[in-house]
Chain A
Amino acid sequence: MKKKISMLLMGCVLLAAFAACGGNNEPATPTPTPAATQQQGGVATPAPTPTPPPEGAALLADTTTFLGTRRGDTLVIELQFPIENPGVFNTFNGGVALTSGVVQLLTGNLWNINTITGEQFPEIAAGFPRSSADFMTHYIDIRQGIYWSDGMPFTARDVAFTMNMIKGDPDIGVSAYYNMAFASIEAVEDFVVRIETNWPYLHMSTQLGVTVGGNALRIVPEHIYSQIDNVTAFADSNPVVAGAYTVHSFDPLGTWVLYQRRDDWYRSITSVVAGGAEPQARYILFRSFGDDTARQMAMINNEIDLMMEVSLEMLTFMAMNNTSVGAWYDSFPFATSDDPVAKGLVFNHAIAPFDNRYFRWGIALALDFDMISLAIFEGAGRASPFPIFTMTSGFLDMYYRPYLMDWIDNFYITLADGTQIFPYDRGYAHRIANILRAMGHDLPTDAASLYYMFGYGTWIHDPAAATQLFHMAGLELVGNNWHFEGQPFVMELTYLAGTELQTERSVIAAFNQLQQFGFNATLAGKTIGAWAVDWGLGNFQIDGYWPWACFTQNVFGNVQTFDRYLITPVGDWTTGAGMRWDNVRATEIIHELQLLPPTHPRVTELAIEFFQVAVHDLPTIGFHSGLKFVPTNNTFWGGFPSAANPYNGPWWWWHVFDSFLPFITPHFPS
C-alpha cells in the first residue's frame, strides 16, 4: 500500500519542483462488496462479522504501544481535538472534554436510546418512571447489582444525591431548571427514588434520559462528591466510576487518555445493562492525530481502530490503501444515514419573502437535488426532503411506511394558473443509482435496498413551476434579475463554518444551484459564537442549521421549540425558536403533545398531523438525513456496528457507545 502512496508522492514532489505534473492519477474505484441491507431497523442480533484480519497482523498485535500496553488488547479511538484541559473527568466541571471517553466509558444515564429502533431503554433505571395519575409524583426504580469502581454499591441514594446536588449548586447549568421543576428528590428505598414535581411532568424519561447524544444528568458517587465543596471546580483526575472502565493515565498535554477495564467489570453499568456481557477491550486509548492527512496515514498504518467522522473522499482514499478500513458499508456509499438530523436549508420566517410558503416551495423546486447530492458526498446518502422529520430507520418503520407514504404521493401545490404540481419525486433512488453505476460503483438493484440507501424520494426539480411560485410570492423578474418590493433581490446564505461538513457542503451546493437558477446570492461561514447569536436574534435569511432531532416515536422533544409563543421579533432574543416559524396548528399540536403521556395512542396521530402541516408549509427543506462516515479498522478489532450488523448506529462519541463494548472484539486476544 505504501508503494501506491509513494507513487502519488513522487508526483507531489515533482510538482513542487516544477519538473512535471504527476500524470492523471485517477483513483481506482474501490471494488464494493454487495452491501447487506436486509436489516432495516428492528433489533439486531449481535453477530460480529468475521472479516479475516490481514496477514502479519497477529505479529503486530503482540507489539506494545507507546504506553506499554499490548496493541492487540488496546482499542485505539481517535480524539477529534486535543484536550485543552487534560485530567478533568468530572462532567460538572466546564473544562471536561465530554467525548474523550468520559460520557462513553465512565458515566451512565437513567435512560439510554437504541438509535436504530428509536426506542429508549432503562440504563441505570430498572424501568420507566412509575408516575401518579396526575404525573406529580414519580418513582424511579434503580438497577441492583451495579458497584462503583471502589467497591461501594450503586444505589438510589447516589441518584438522589446527584439530583439534589444539581438543585443546590447554582453554578451547575441546569440548576435553575431543576429548582423550577422538581420539588423534592428522595431515595425512599435502597433502589427507589421518589421525585415530586412542580407541574405534571409527563416526559421524565426524555427530559432526564438520553434521546439523542446524551443528557446532563450523569450520576456521581455520593461518597466522593459529598466531600467536595466546590463541585464545578473539582477536576476528579482519578475518578471513581460506575462505567466499565477507569482512567489509567492521561497526557498532561492533552493528546491522549488511556482507559483500563475494571477487574470487576461485571459489576459496571455497561455489563449489568447488557445482561452480564463482557466489555472486550482490556484497554481503550483515546488519542488525537492532528490534521486530516496525518489522520488518514495513521489509519492506513493501522494506528487507529475507530475514527471520528471524515469526508467521503478521505474514506475512499483510506479504503483504497488499506483493505481493512471500512465503515457502515465497506464500500460506496460507506456512510450510515441514520443520524437523526437531516441537513438542508432553514429559513428565517420573520423576514419577507422567506415567510412566504410559495417562496419556500419555489426554492425547493428550483433546486436540482441530483446535482446537490452529487456535490455533497458524490451521491451518497438517504434523501430526507421533509421539514423537521428525518428519514431514520426508526422513522421509516414507525411513521413513513405505515402512515405517510400514500399521503405524500398525493400531496400537491396549486399554482396561480390552476396547475397542480405533485412535488414529491419518487424516482430519485433509481436515478442516482444509475448515475453512480455509470461512475463505476457496484450497487444493489432491488428497490428496497436502493430506497434504504438513497431514500424514498425528493422534491422535484421544476424551474418553470418554481418561477411561477416566486411570482406568487411577490418576486418579479426584471430582465434577468429577480426583484422584490421594487428592489433587486439578494439572498444571504450562511452556515456554521468548520463544525459539520455535511451542513457546510449542503449550503454551498444550494448556493451554487440558486446562482445557476439565476438568483443573486451571497454565502458566508460563521464561527459558532457569532452564528449562535445571529440565530437567537434572527439575523440570517437562509441557514444550514438543524433545529430538530428525532429518534423516538414520541416527537414532542423534537418539535417543542416550534411553539409560536417562543417567537420574538427579529433583534430580540429567543430561546430555541431561532427560525421563527409561526404556525397556529403546529403550536396547538405541540401544546396537546405536552399534556399527553408519552405512550398515548394519540401521540402518533398528532405526529402524523404535524408532519402534514409541516410539509404543507415547508418551513425548512431537507436534503439528506444525517450521514456519518465513521471509519473502522478491522486489523486488530472487529464487530463494529455496520450495515451487516446494525446493533446500533456508529456514533461512538455519544453516550450510547458503552453498549457497543461487548460487541467490539479483539482478533488476537492475549
Chain B
Amino acid sequence: MKFWKFLIIRILTCLLTIWIGVTILFFVPRFFPSDPIEGLVMQMTMLYGNMDPAMQESIRATLQAQFGLEGSLFTQYLHFLRNGLLGFDFGPSLMNFPTPVTDLIAVRMPYTVFLSLFTTLIAWVVGNLIGLYAGFRKDKRSARVMEMVAIFIYPIPYFLVALILQIVFAFLLGWFPLTSNIIFHMGPWVWFTSLIRSSILPALSILLIGVGWWILSMKALASSIASDDFVSYARYRGISESKIAGKYIFRNSMLTQVTALALALGGVFSGALLAEIIFNYPGVGTLVQQAIMQSDYNMIMGTITISIVAISVATLLVDLLYPFFDPRIRYS
C-alpha cells in the first residue's frame, strides 16, 4: 500500500519534472532574438552572392508559411505538447524541410547510444572498482598510484586526449581509420567490423576522461566511509576486510554513485558532441549543435526532449531501486 502511494507520487513528480523541463526548453530559445528563417535566407544570400530584395521577401514568406511558426506562441506550445511530448512527433526539421526530425534522429540515435552508453557504463564500473580499492586501501602504494593517475588524467582537456589518440593510433600507426567510416553496402559482417573499428578511438577517449571522475569521487566516498565508526566497529568484531569493503563501504557509497550514473546516462545523447566532431562519428550530438547554431527549434526540441525524458526516467528508476540497494531507506 505504502509502496503504491510512493510509486504514484514519484511518477507524478517525474512527469512534472519533464513538463517543467520541456516548457523551459520550449520558451527559452523563442524569447531570444534568433530566427531560423532569417538564418536560412541569409545562408541562401551568401551562396548566391546577392539576391533581389523582392526574391528574398518571397522566400521569407514561403518559409514562414511552411514552418508553421506564424501561430501564436501559445498555440505552438499546445501543439508541441500534444504532438511532441505525447507522440514524439516534433514536426519537420527546419533546416531539412520537410524531413521529420524524428527520422533524422532515428538514423543516428543507435550509434550515439552504442558509443556513449557502453563507454559511460564501462567508465562507471571500472572507475568505481578502482575508486573503491583506492579509498579502502588508501595507504597502499598501488592505490596511491592509481589515484595519482586519475588526478592527472581527469583535468586534461578532452580534445587533447582525443587528438593524441587520433594522431598516434590513426595517423602514425594506422591501426584505425582517421575518420569514422561505417560501411553498409558490403554486408553485415563488414558493417559490424567497420563499426567497431570506427568506435574504438572515440570510445577510448571518452573512457579515459570519464573514468577519472568516477575514481576520484568513489575514492573520496569510500575513504570517508572507511574511516567511519561503524566500519571500525565492524573491524573490532572481526569481520573480514573483503566483507567490509563489499558489504559496508560498497553498499553505502553505491547510493550516491548510482544517482550520479543515472544523471550521467542523460548525457549520453548530447555528451559525446566533441568526440563526434573530432572523429567524424555519426551521432545525435552534431545534430543538436547544428540545430542550436541555426535555431532549428523542432530539432532542438526533439533531441533535448528525448534527453530530458531519458534522464527523468533513469532517475525515477534509481529512486525506485534505492531500497533494494539499501533496505534502510523506506519508500516515503
> B-contacting residues of A (Cβ < 8 Å)?
2, 5-6, 9, 12-13, 16, 18, 66-67, 81-82, 84-85, 88, 93-95, 98-99, 170-178, 180-181, 207, 211-216, 232-233, 249, 251-255, 288-291, 293-294, 297-298, 301, 303, 340-341, 498, 527-537, 539, 548-549, 551, 557-558, 560-561, 563, 566, 575-577, 654
Q: Of residues B50, B93, B166, B179, which shows the largest number of chain A Cβ atoms within 10 Å of its Cβ?
A: B50
Assess whether B280 is in contact with A288, with CB atoms less than 8 Å apart: yes
- 0 or 1 for each of B141-169: is its CB under 8 Å from A? (1 = yes): 00000000000100010001001101110
Docked CA distance A216–B55 (Å): 10
Chain A residues whose CB sits within 8 angstroms of the CB of B66 once the complex forms: 94, 171
* A84-B178 contact given A528-B39, A535-B42, CB 8 Å threshold: no
A188 to chain B, nearest CB (A): 26
Assess whether B282 is in contact with A82, with CB atoms less than 8 Å apart: yes
> Which B residue sits closest to A94, measured CB to CB?
B97
Assess whether A9 is in contact with B172, with CB atoms less than 8 Å apart: yes
Assess whether B35 is in contact with A529, with CB atoms less than 8 Å apart: yes
Assess whether A175 is in contact with B58, with CB atoms less than 8 Å apart: yes
- B183 lies within 8 A of chain A by Cβ: yes
> Which of A67, A176, A529, A551 is within 8 Å of B61, CB to CB?
A176
> Which of B56, B172, B185, B280 is within 8 Å of A249, CB to CB?
B185
B214 to chain A, nearest CB (A): 21
Chain B residues whose CB sits within 8 angstroms of the CB of A561 once the complex forms: 50, 53
- 0 or 1 for each of B46-59: is its CB under 8 Å from A? (1 = yes): 11111111111111
Assess whether A177 is in contact with B50, with CB atoms less than 8 Å apart: no
Assess whether B287 is in contact with A528, with CB atoms less than 8 Å apart: no
Docked CA distance A648–B239 (Å): 83
Assess whether B167 is in contact with A293, with CB atoms less than 8 Å apart: yes
> Which B residue sits closest to A212, measured CB to CB?
B49
> Which B residue sits closest to A13, measured CB to CB?
B164
Chain B residues whose CB sits within 8 angstroms of the CB of A174 once the complex forms: 55, 58-59, 62
Assess whether B183 is in contact with A9, with CB atoms less than 8 Å apart: no
Docked CA distance A663–B301 (Å): 47
17 contacts between A and B (CB under 8 A): A13-B164, A18-B152, A82-B280, A94-B98, A170-B65, A172-B62, A173-B63, A177-B54, A181-B54, A211-B48, A253-B282, A255-B182, A298-B179, A528-B295, A529-B35, A529-B295, A537-B33
Chain B residues whose CB sits within 8 angstroms of the CB of A289 once the complex forms: 178-179, 280
* A293-B166 contact given A6-B172, A252-B107, A301-B178, CB 8 Å threshold: yes
Chain B residues whose CB sits within 8 angstroms of the CB of A294 once the complex forms: 166, 170, 178-179, 278-280
- 0 or 1 for each of B209-251: is its CB under 8 Å from A? (1 = yes): 0000000000000000000000000000000000000000000
Assess whether B34 is in contact with A290, with CB atoms less than 8 Å apart: no
Assess whether B36 is in contact with A177, with CB atoms less than 8 Å apart: no
B238 to chain A, nearest CB (A): 44
A587 to chain B, nearest CB (A): 13
> Which of B58, B62, B294 is within 8 Å of A171, CB to CB?
B62
Chain B residues whose CB sits within 8 angstroms of the CB of A537 once the complex forms: 33
* A528-B43 contact given A85-B93, A575-B60, CB 8 Å threshold: yes
- B102 lies within 8 A of chain A by Cβ: no
Chain A residues whose CB sits within 8 angstroms of the CB of B292 once the complex forms: 527
Assess whether A84 is in contact with B104, with CB atoms less than 8 Å apart: yes
> Which residues 70-112 of B sit at the A interface, judged by CB distance below 8 A?
93, 95-99, 104, 107-108, 111
A294 to chain B, nearest CB (A): 5
Q: Is the interface of B mostly helix, strand, loop or mixed?
A: helix
Assess whether B34 is in contact with A291, with CB atoms less than 8 Å apart: no
7 cross-chain pairs, A with B, having the tightest CB-CB distances, nearest first: A212-B49, A290-B280, A94-B97, A529-B295, A95-B96, A532-B38, A177-B58
* A297-B178 contact given A529-B35, A534-B33, A575-B57, CB 8 Å threshold: yes
Chain B residues whose CB sits within 8 angstroms of the CB of A213 once the complex forms: 46-49
Q: Of residues A2, A88, A530, which shows the largest number of chain B Cβ atoms within 10 Å of its Cβ?
A: A530
- B260 lies within 8 A of chain A by Cβ: no
Assess whether A549 is in contact with B294, with CB atoms less than 8 Å apart: no
Docked CA distance A293–B51 (Å): 36
Docked CA distance A251–B185 (Å): 9
B287 to chain A, nearest CB (A): 7
Assess whether B178 is in contact with A298, with CB atoms less than 8 Å apart: yes
> Which of A85, A178, A530, A560 is within 8 Å of B96, CB to CB?
A85
B69 to chain A, nearest CB (A): 12
Chain A residues whose CB sits within 8 angstroms of the CB of B172 once the complex forms: 2, 5-6, 9
Chain B residues whose CB sits within 8 angstroms of the CB of A548 once the complex forms: 50
Assess whether B38 is in contact with A94, with CB atoms less than 8 Å apart: no
> Which of A172, A251, A288, A560 is within 8 Å of B184, CB to CB?
A251
- B254 lies within 8 A of chain A by Cβ: no
> Which B residue sits closest to A558, measured CB to CB?
B50
* A214-B178 contact given A95-B99, A527-B34, A527-B294, CB 8 Å threshold: no
Docked CA distance A62–B195 (Å): 26
Assess whether A532 is in contact with B41, with CB atoms less than 8 Å apart: yes
Assess whether B50 is in contact with A549, with CB atoms less than 8 Å apart: yes
> Which of A5, A214, A215, A529 is within 8 Å of B39, CB to CB?
A529
Docked CA distance A207–B50 (Å): 10
B38 to chain A, nearest CB (A): 4
Assess whether B43 is in contact with A212, with CB atoms less than 8 Å apart: no
Chain B residues whose CB sits within 8 angstroms of the CB of A534 once the complex forms: 33
Q: Of residues A498, A529, A548, which shows the largest number of chain B Cβ atoms within 10 Å of its Cβ?
A: A529
* A533-B38 contact given A85-B99, A291-B277, CB 8 Å threshold: yes
A275 to chain B, nearest CB (A): 27
Chain A residues whose CB sits within 8 angstroms of the CB of B13 once the complex forms: none
* A254-B295 contact given A84-B290, A172-B62, A213-B49, CB 8 Å threshold: no
Chain B residues whose CB sits within 8 angstroms of the CB of A180 once the complex forms: 54, 58
Chain B residues whose CB sits within 8 angstroms of the CB of A16 once the complex forms: 156, 160, 164
* A291-B280 contact given A9-B168, A95-B97, CB 8 Å threshold: yes
Chain A residues whose CB sits within 8 angstroms of the CB of B295 once the complex forms: 527-530
Q: Of residues A6, A85, A252, A535, which shows the largest number of chain B Cβ atoms within 10 Å of its Cβ?
A: A85
Docked CA distance A565–B112 (Å): 51
A86 to chain B, nearest CB (A): 8
Chain B residues whose CB sits within 8 angstroms of the CB of A527 once the complex forms: 34, 39, 292-295
Docked CA distance A164–B221 (Å): 72
> Which of B34, B59, B178, B280 is within 8 Å of A529, CB to CB?
B34
- B171 lies within 8 A of chain A by Cβ: yes
Assess whether B171 is in contact with A539, with CB atoms less than 8 Å apart: no
Assess whether A173 is in contact with B58, with CB atoms less than 8 Å apart: yes
Assess whether B184 is in contact with A252, with CB atoms less than 8 Å apart: yes
> Which B residue sits closest to A577, measured CB to CB?
B53
Given contacts A93-B98, A95-B98, 14 further A-B contacts (CB under 8 A): A5-B167, A16-B156, A84-B93, A171-B66, A175-B58, A178-B58, A255-B179, A290-B180, A291-B277, A297-B171, A298-B179, A527-B295, A529-B36, A536-B38
Chain A residues whose CB sits within 8 angstroms of the CB of B62 once the complex forms: 170-176
Docked CA distance A43–B122 (Å): 62
Docked CA distance A560–B52 (Å): 7
Docked CA distance A596–B41 (Å): 28
* A560-B53 contact given A255-B280, A534-B33, CB 8 Å threshold: yes
